Amino acid sequence: MIELTYFLEEKQEKGLYQVIQSKPGEPWQIVLGNELIGKVEKKQGMWNLRAETEVPAGLLKGIVKLIEQQHFHHLPSDIKMHWEAYLQEVIMLSDLEYMVICKPGICFESFEKLFRTSIGLLIKDEWQILFRVYNAGMSDDFELVANRVFTAK
C-alpha cells in the first residue's frame, strides 16, 4: 500500500487529503478525514476522477502532480532503461518492494554483481527498498535491500 498526503490550500478551500493506493495499478483513493471523496486513476494517458461528492477546484490537478512527482512511480522504467540489455521486466509491488525479471541468455551471476553495486545510484527515495531479482526461467534468484547512494557533486 502507498499512502501520500496532499495539502490543499486554495482561497476558499483548505484540507489535508490522504491519497492511498492499495496495490499498483489500482485507482488512488482520495480521503478527507474518514470520508472517501473519490478515486483517481490514469487510463490511456489521461487522469480521471470519480468523485463521491463535489471536490474543490484544483484538487485533481494537485493530486495528480503529487503522484507523478513521486520517484517510485518512475523507478521501474529507470531500472529497465539502465539495464536494458539484461532486463525483461521490472514490477513495482509497492513503494517498498520491486520484482525484477532478467532476459533469457544473460549471465545471471554477472548481472547480480552489477545490480548489487549500482542500484543505489538509481534510487531517489529515502527509504529502504527490497528488490527480488529472478532469472528468466525463475529458477534462480537473489534479494537485495538497498538504499539511495549519495554522490558528491
* pLDDT by residue, tens only, the chain of 153 residues: 788 888 887 666 677 889 998 887 789 999 988 888 889 998 888 898 898 788 887 888 888 888 887 766 788 989 999 999 999 999 988 878 899 999 999 999 999 999 999 999 888 877 889 999 999 999 999 999 998 776 655
Which pLDDT belongs to residue 127? 82
Please say which residue of 69, 89, 112 terminates a domain: 69
**CA distance linking residue 36 with residue 49, whole number of Å:** 12
**CA distance linking residue 96 with residue 125, whole number of Å:** 10
Q: Considering the domain boundaries, does residue 100 fall inside one?
A: yes
Provide the residue type at 109 as one letter: E
Domain co-membership, 29 together with 88: no
Domain co-membership, 91 together with 27: no
The reply to whether the predicted model has a pTM over 0.85 is: no
Q: Which domain holds residue 26?
A: 2-69
Which pLDDT belongs to residue 131? 96
- Burial-class residue 133 by CB neighbours within 10 Å (0-12, 13-18, 19+): buried
Alpha helix (H) ranges present in the chain?
A: 59-69, 75-82, 108-118
Domain co-membership, 86 together with 51: no
Which pLDDT belongs to residue 10? 66
Q: Considering the domain boundaries, does residue 151 fall inside one?
A: no
Residue with cell 558528491: 152
Domain co-membership, 24 together with 81: no
- The CA radius of gyration of the chain, in Å to the nearest whole number, is 19
Please say which residue of 15, 43, 69 terminates a domain: 69
**CA distance linking residue 77 with residue 80, whole number of Å:** 5
Q: Which grid cell sits at 7?
A: 495539502
Domain co-membership, 65 together with 97: no
Domain co-membership, 80 together with 117: yes
- Domains in the chain: how many in total? 2
Burial string for 69-105 (b: 16+ CB within 10 Å, else e) reads eeebeebbeebeebbeebbeebebeebeebbbbbeee
Provide the residue type at 97 as one letter: E
Please say which residue of 15, 44, 69 terminates a domain: 69
Domain co-membership, 45 together with 107: no
